[in-house]
Chain A
Amino acid sequence: MTKEAKKPFRQSVAEWRQFVYNPDSGEFLGRTAKSWGLILLFYLVFYGFLAALFTFTMWVMLQTLSSDIPKYRDRISSPGLMISPKPDTALEFYFNKSDANSYAQYVSTLKKFLESYDDSKQSENINCTPGKVFDQNDVADKKACRFNLSELGQCSGKEDKTFGYSKGTPCVLVKMNRIIGLKPEGEPYIQCTSKTAWGAVKAVEQGMVEINYFPPGGSIDLMYFPYYGKSLHAHYLQPLVAVQLAINSNSTNEEIAIECKILGSPNLKNEDDRDKFLGRIAFKVQMTE
Chain B
Amino acid sequence: MKKEMDVDDHKLELPDLEAKYSTSITKGLVGAVAAERLLRDGPNELRPPRGTPECVKFGRQLAGGLQCLMWVAAAICLIAYGVQEGQGDRGSADNLYLAIALIAVVVVTGCFGYYQEFKSTNIIASFKNLVPQQATVIREGDKLQINANELVVGDLVEIKGGDRVPADIRIISAQGCKVDNSSLTGESEPQTRSPECTHDSPLETRNIAFFSTMCLEAGPHPDTQASPAGTATGLVINTGDRTIIGRIASLASGVENEKTPIAIEIEHFVDIIAGLAIFFGATFFVVAMVIGYPFLRAMVFFMAIVVAYVPEGLLATVTVCLSLTAKRLARKNCVVKNLEAVETLGSTSVICSDKTGTLTQNRMTVAHLWFDNQIHTADTTEDQSGQSFDQSSETWTLLSRVVTLCNRAQFKAGQENIPVAKREVIGDASETALLKFAEVTVGTVSEARGRFPKVAELPFNSTNKFQLSVHAAGDRQLLVLKGAPERVLERCSTVMIKGQELPLDAQWREAFEGAYADLGGRGERVLGFCARWLPAGTVAAGTDPEALPEVAVGLCFAGLVAMIDPPRATVPRAVLKCRTAGIRVIMVTGDHPITAKAIAAAVGIISEGSETPEDVAARLRVPLEQVDPRQARARVVTGAELAGMEPGVLEGILRAHPEMVFARTSPQQKLVIVESCQRLGAIVAVTGDGVNDSPALKRADIGVAMGIAGSDAAKNAADMILLDDNFASIVTGVEQGRLIFDNLKKSIAYTLTKNIPELTPYLIYITASVPLPLGCITILFIELCTDIFPSVSLAYERAESDIMHLKPRNPRRDRLVNEPLAAYSYFQIGAIQSFAGFTDYFVAMAQEGWWPLLCLGLRPRWEDTHEQELQDSYGQQWTFEQRRYQQYTCYTVFFISIEMCQIADVLIRKTRRLSLLQQGLFRNHILVIAIVFQVSIGCFLCYCPGMPNIFNFMPIRFQWWFVPMPFGLLILIYDEIRKLGVRRHPGSWWDRELYY
Contact = CB atoms under 8 A, between A and B. Distances in A.
Interface string A250-289: 0000000000000000000000101111100100000000
Given A2-B256, A177-B877, A277-B880, A80 B846 contact: no
A61 B889 CA distance: 18
Given A1-B679, A58-B852, A229-B875, A278 B881 contact: yes
Given A42-B993, A178-B876, A278-B879, A50 B851 contact: no
Contact of B872 (A58, A62, A70, A74): A70
Interface in B865-905: 866, 868-869, 872-883, 885-886, 889
A70 to B, nearest CB: 4
B592 interface: no
A274 B880 CA distance: 10
Interface string A64-92: 01001111111110011010001001110
Contact of B843 (A38, A61, A75, A91): A61
A285 B851 CA distance: 38
Given A57-B839, A82-B868, A274-B949, A50 B831 contact: yes
B827 A50 contact: no
A180 B881 contact: no
A274 B846 CA distance: 25
Contacts of B486: none
B832 A50 contact: yes
Interface string B129-151: 00000000000000000000000
Contacts of A19: none
A27 to B, nearest CB: 14
Interface in B822-850: 827-828, 831-832, 835, 838-839, 842-843, 846-849
B675 interface: yes
A184 to B, nearest CB: 15
A16 interface: no
B876 A54 contact: no
A20 interface: no
A144 to B, nearest CB: 12
Interface in B225-280: 256
A50 B831 CA distance: 8
A47 B831 contact: yes
Given A42-B993, A275-B879, A72 B847 contact: yes
B847 A275 contact: no
B161 to A, nearest CB: 44
Contact of B875 (A75, A79, A230): A230
Nearest to A79: B877
- The B interface is mostly helix, strand or loop, or mixed, namely helix
Contacts of A278: 879, 881-882
A181 to B, nearest CB: 10
B957 interface: yes
Interface string B924-960: 0000000000000000000000000100000001000
Given A54-B838, A57-B839, A75-B848, A180 B832 contact: no
Contacts, number: 121
Interface of A is mostly: loop
B881 A274 contact: yes
A275 B846 contact: no
B989 interface: yes
Interface string A148-184: 0000000000000000000000000000011110000
A34 B847 CA distance: 46
Given A75-B848, A76-B882, A80-B868, A70 B876 contact: yes
A210 B828 CA distance: 67
B678 interface: yes
B882 A75 contact: yes
A21 B880 CA distance: 53
A95 B949 CA distance: 39
Interface in A81-107: 82, 86, 89-91
Contacts of A73: 848-849, 876
Question: What's the interface size class on B, roughly?
Answer: 35 or more
Contact of A180 (B675, B874, B949): B874
Nearest to B948: A274
A276 B869 CA distance: 13
A69 B843 CA distance: 15
Interface residues of A, number: 49
Contact of A1 (B675, B852, B878): B675
A76 B875 CA distance: 13
Contacts of A89: 866
Contacts of A57: 839, 966
Given A47-B831, A50-B831, A80-B869, A75 B886 contact: yes
Contacts of A200: none
Contacts of A65: 846-847, 851
Contact of B957 (A1, A72, A90, A233): A72
Contact of A80 (B679, B879, B886, B949): B879
Contacts of B957: 72, 74
B352 to A, nearest CB: 16
Nearest to B873: A70
Interface string A201-236: 000000000000000000000000001011101001
A78 B993 CA distance: 55
A55 to B, nearest CB: 10
A56 B949 CA distance: 35
A42 B842 CA distance: 27
B916 to A, nearest CB: 21
Contacts of A58: 839, 842, 852
A62 B839 CA distance: 12
A80 B876 contact: no
Nearest to B974: A46
A3 B572 CA distance: 37
A71 B869 contact: no
A171 B110 CA distance: 61
Contact of A43 (B678, B827, B877, B882): B827
Given A57-B839, A177-B876, A74 B848 contact: yes
A274 to B, nearest CB: 6
A69 B878 contact: no
B677 to A, nearest CB: 11
Contacts of B949: 274
Contact of B989 (A38, A71, A86, A276): A38
Contacts of A2: 256
B828 A177 contact: no
Contact of B876 (A1, A74, A76, A86): A76
Contacts of B835: 50, 53-54
Contact of A82 (B256, B869, B883): B869
B877 A178 contact: yes
A1 to B, nearest CB: 6
Nearest to B848: A72
A229 B876 CA distance: 7
A39 interface: yes
A179 B877 contact: yes
B757 to A, nearest CB: 13
Interface string B674-710: 0100110000000000000000000000000000000
B879 A70 contact: no
B889 A76 contact: no
B881 A275 contact: yes
Contact of B846 (A62, A76, A82, A233): A62
A276 B717 CA distance: 66
B538 to A, nearest CB: 70
B839 A80 contact: no
Contacts of A227: 875-876
Given A73-B849, A278-B881, 6 more contacts: A42-B993, A46-B828, A70-B847, A227-B876, A274-B949, A278-B882
8 contacts: A1-B679, A61-B842, A62-B852, A65-B851, A70-B873, A70-B874, A180-B876, A236-B875
Interface of A: 1-2, 38-39, 42-43, 46-47, 50, 53-54, 57-58, 61-62, 65, 68-76, 79-80, 82, 86, 89-91, 177-180, 227, 229-231, 233, 236, 272, 274-278, 281
